[in-house]
Amino acid sequence: MNAIPLDKQLLNRLQSIDEFELAGFVAREGLTGSGVTVLKGRTYFGSWRLTGGNLVWSHASANAQKHTEESVDGAIHYTAILVLKNLELDRDEKIAALARLAG
C-alpha cells in the first residue's frame, strides 16, 4: 500500500475546512500536479511544496522567508495563522477607510 504524500494530505485537509473557503481562500493542486497552491480569491497567496520530506511554504511576497513544517498538522496550523493575520489586516484597512470617510 502506498502512503499518501504529505502535500496531497495537506490539500485534502485544507479543502475539507469549510471556514477556509468561507474566509475567501482556496487550496488547489499546484500547477505541476504537486504541492498546494493557496489563493485568496483569484490572487496567489502562497504555496506549499514537498521538499526533502518536509512541507515548505513560499509566500506570495517575494521578500518573505520560506517556512518549513514536518507535519500536515503543522502546515494546517501555520496556514491558519497566515489566513487570520490576513483577515485582520483586511479588517484594519476597512476600519481605517471608514474612519477617513467619517472624519
- Please give the span between the terminal C-alpha atoms of the chain, in angstroms, as a whole number: 64
* DSSP letter (8 states) at residue 3: P
* Residue 1's pLDDT band (cuts 50, 70, 90): low
Q: Provide DSSP, 33-73.
A: SSSEEEEETTEEEEEEEEETTEEEEEESSTTSPPEEESSHH
Residue 43 lies in a domain: yes
Q: Is 1 within a domain?
A: no
- Domain with 30 in it: what CATH number? 3.90.930
Domain tally, the chain: 1
The three cell numbers of residue 6 are: 504529505
Question: Is the pTM here over 0.75, yes or no?
Answer: yes
Residue 19 belongs to domain spanning: 6-102
Q: What is the mean pLDDT of residues 67-86?
A: 96
pLDDT range class, residue 97, cuts 50, 70, 90? low
